[in-house]
Structure 1
Amino acid sequence: MRPLLSICIPSYNRPGQLLQLLDSIDCDPQNIDIVVCEDNAPLREKVRSVVTSFKSQSPYRVHYFENEINMGYDGNLRRLVELAAGRFVMFMGDDDLFLPKALNKYLRFINQHEDKKYFLRSYIVIHPENRIENFRYLPSTTILPPGEKTVAWLFKRSVTICGFTIARDDAFKISTSELDGTLLYQVYLMAQICLNHESIYCDFPVVQAVQTFRDNKPMFGSSTAEKSRYTPGSISIENSINFTKAYFEVTKYIDNRRETRLTNLVRTDLSKYSYPFLSIQRKRGIGSFLQYAKRLETEAGFGCTPYYFIYKWGLILFGEKLCDRTIMRIKDILGYTPNF
C-alpha cells in the first residue's frame, strides 16, 4: 500500500544531527516511509551506520540510498522525489527536527486536504537563550488560489526546507536539472504546481528549523553545479549575493516558459520582507554592510519598496539583536508575520 507521506532527507556530513532527526519522528508507521539520500560526503560511512542502526530498531519503513557523485542540494532533492513512494513528499534538512506529537496531526491535516498539491507549513526556530520564534504566515488555515500572485507570495515562504510538502507525482513530472546550483529546487516545484493548482496554508507548527547555517559553516559549494556560486564554510557576502540572485534565475526560468510575470512580483515581495537578506551580513561591520546593502539594491533590485530602507537603516542604527527582538515582538503580538 502506498504511504500517504514520504519523509525525504537529503544527507550531507551530519550523522549526529541526522540521528536526532530520525529519533524525532513519532507518528503512525502505516502512514509514512522515510527516504534518506546521502550525497557522497566525507562522513558517508558514519551516515550509513546511523541509518542502518536506526532501521534495524525502527517500526518505520526506511530506505537508504547513496549518490555515486556529489549531486548537490538541488540534484539530491530531485533524486529524493524520484525515489519517494508516498503520495506526498516532505523534505527535511538533516539538521532539522519534528515537534513532539505534531506529525500525526499534520498527517490528518494532509488526509483532510488531499486534493491540494502543496502545503505551506508553519514552523519554529529556537534561538539562543531558548527564545522561540514562530513562523506563521496567516491568522488561520487558508486555502490559496492558483496563480501568479499566490506563487509570488509563497516564494520566500517556501525556501526553508523543513516541512516542505508537495504532491509527489506532480513534482516528478516537472523534474529538471537546469536550475541546479540555485539551492531553490523546492521553490521551483512549488511555483510550477501552484500556478495551476490550489494550495493550502497549515497554521500549526510541525517542525523546528535548526538553522545550522547561522554557525557560519554552510556546506553548499561542494558539487559541480555549486562550486562557481558558493564557497563552503562561510556565509560570505558573495555567497549571499549569489543566493539572492538565484531567486530571479528561477523566476525568469518560469517566466520564459509559462509567459508569467513572476520576476517583478517576487522582487517586490522580497523587498518587502528583505530583513533576513540584510541582517545576515550585519555582523561584518557597518562598512562591509553598507557595501553589501548597495549590491542588494543595484544587483537584486531590492530598493523597490520603502520597507527595504527601513530594515537597512534600522540595522545600521540599532544593530541586529535589537532589530531581531523587535520583529519577534511584533510577530508575537499579532500571532503571525504581518502581510504588507
Structure 2
Amino acid sequence: MTTITVAVPSFSRPNELRELIESVLGADELPDELLICEDRSPLRDEIAAVVDSYREAFAATACRLSYVENEQNLGYDGNIRNLFQQASSDYVLILGDDDVIYANAIAESRRFIDAHPGIAFISRTYSRFSASPRDIINTTWLRGEDCVVDPSNSTPNLVFRLCGFVGGLIVKRDWANDKATTRYDGSLYYQFYLACLAYYETGIGYIFASIVGGRAGNPPLFGSAEHEKDVHIPGSYRPKGRAKMWAGLLRIAADVDALGHAGLYHSMRNEIAGRQSFHIFEMMPVQGRKATLELFCELRRLRLTHKLLPWLLTTFICVFGSYAGLGFALFRKLQFSIEGGIGVKM
C-alpha cells in the first residue's frame, strides 16, 4: 500500500500546531507518519512540549510520530526540502504549521495516488477558515473534477495557481530528493520549483475534494534565516519582501525555460502582473499609501507593470486609502458567491 507522511515545517506556532495534530488524529484514515521539523524558533521548547503531549496517543495508532529539531534555522525553503529528506514514506503531504487536514484527506490522497502512480506532484482544492476550522470563509478550486494538468491541456500560468498555497500539496519523496537544490533558498517558493518540473515531466495531479484548511489572517513569520532576513520582516509582507518573492518566481521560471520548456517565464510575468497583482494589492490598504507606492515601484523595477491592473489598483488605494479594503472585500465576496453559485471559476 502507498505510504504517506504528513510533514510540517514548524516555527513558533505551538497553539496552531496542537490543532493540526488533533486534525491528523481525527482523520478517517491516518497517515503512516506525522513528521514535524522544528526550525530553531524562539518557541522550540513550547513546540516540543506540544509534540510530547501526543506521543501516547500516537503510540496507540499505526501512525508514527516523528519530531526533528533543526540544528540551525534553515528558513522556509530549506525546511521544505528538509521534510523530503526526513520523511520515511513514499509520498509527502505538506501542511503549514497553522493548517489542518480534513477527515477525508488521507483516503482521498491514497485513492488519487493509486489511480495515478506516475504523478510526482499533486495539488488539491483547499478551504480557508478564520478562528476555527469549522468557520470556513471560502473554498478555492481550479478544476471541477480529479484530473492531471499538463502542457497538453493547460497554459503554464496555471502552475503557480496550483501550488502558491503550500498546504495539502503532495509530492513523491524520492523524486523530490532527486531534484533537491539550494539555488532558490530565500525565494519562499521552493514548491513552485518542484511544481514547474512536474508540470513538464509527469503533469500535476489535482484532487477536486477539499482536503485541507488554511488559517486566514495569521501573520507570516519569514525573516529569521540568513537568506531571508535581508528583506523579510516577521509579522508582515513588506514591498521589498514581496518583490524578492516575485523575483524568485521569475528566476525559477527562467531556469525551467532554459531546460527546453519555453513559455513559462512569459506566462509567469503575465500572471504576476495580472491575476496575482490583485492578490498582493488587496493586502496593501492597511499598510497605507506610501507602502503601496513602494510596492508599485518594486514591481516596475522588475518590469511587472506591463498590465493595466497594477496601475489601477495603485491608484485605487492612493485615492481611497484604508477604505479601499472595503472594495477589495466586496469584490472577493462577489467572486466567491458567483463561483459557488454557478460553479464557474473566475
Query: Do Structure 1 and Structure 2 share a fold, with TM-score over 0.5?
Result: yes
Greater shift in the superposed pair: 135-144 or 316-325:
316-325
SS at match of 2:42: coil
Q: Structure 1 336/10 Cα, relative in aligned 2: closer, same or farther at 3 Å?
A: farther
Q: CA deviation at 1:329?
A: 2.4
Runs of at least 5 residues in structure 1 that lack an aligned partner in the other structure: none
Q: Structure 1 312/66 Cα, relative in aligned 2: closer, same or farther at 3 Å?
A: same
Within 5 Å, give how 1:26-105 maps onto structure 2: 26-29=27-30, 31-58=31-58, 59=61, 60-105=63-108
Q: CA deviation at 1:167?
A: 1.3
Q: Structure 1 98/336 Cα, relative in aligned 2: closer, same or farther at 3 Å?
A: farther
Measure, in 1, the Cα distance between the counterparts of 2:136 and 2:149: 31
Q: CA deviation at 1:221?
A: 0.6
- The number of aligned residues is 332
Q: Which residue of 1 aligns with 2:9?
A: 10
Greater shift in the superposed pair: 16-25 or 146-155:
146-155
Q: Which residue of 2 aligns with 1:179?
A: 184
Measure, in 1, the Cα distance between the counterparts of 2:162 and 2:315: 24
Is 1:160 the equivalent of 2:165?
A: yes
Does structure 2 conserve the Cα–Cα contact (< 8 Å) formed by 1:11 and 1:38? yes
Greater shift in the superposed pair: 327-336 or 7-16:
327-336
SS at match of 1:269: helix
Greater shift in the superposed pair: 284-293 or 304-313:
304-313
Does structure 1 conserve the Cα–Cα contact (< 8 Å) formed by 2:10 and 2:39? yes
Runs of at least 5 residues in structure 2 that lack an aligned partner in the other structure: none
Measure, in 1, the Cα distance between the counterparts of 2:13 and 2:68: 15
Q: Which residue of 2 aligns with 1:260?
A: 262
- 1:111 partner letter: D
**1:243-270 superposed Cα distances (whole Å, 9 cap, x missing partner):** 2222112222333445634211111123
Q: Structure 1 183/203 Cα, relative in aligned 2: closer, same or farther at 3 Å?
A: same
Q: Structure 1 120/313 Cα, relative in aligned 2: closer, same or farther at 3 Å?
A: farther
- 1:163 partner letter: G
Q: Structure 1 111/235 Cα, relative in aligned 2: closer, same or farther at 3 Å?
A: same
Q: Structure 1 155/148 Cα, relative in aligned 2: closer, same or farther at 3 Å?
A: farther
Q: CA deviation at 1:205?
A: 0.4
Q: Which residue of 2 aligns with 1:293?
A: 296
Measure, in 2, the Cα distance between the counterparts of 1:8 and 1:240: 26
Measure, in 2, the Cα distance between the counterparts of 1:272 and 1:39: 34
Q: Which residue of 2 aligns with 1:22?
A: 21
Q: TM-score, normalised by structure 2?
A: 0.86
- 2:285 partner letter: R
Greater shift in the superposed pair: 140-149 or 92-101:
140-149
Does structure 1 conserve the Cα–Cα contact (< 8 Å) formed by 2:292 and 2:314? no
Q: CA deviation at 1:283?
A: 2.3
Report the identity percentage. 24
- 1:5 partner letter: I
Measure, in 1, the Cα distance between the counterparts of 2:130 and 2:303: 30
Measure, in 2, the Cα distance between the counterparts of 1:10 and 1:128: 21
Q: CA deviation at 1:206?
A: 0.4
Q: Which residue of 2 aligns with 1:332?
A: 340
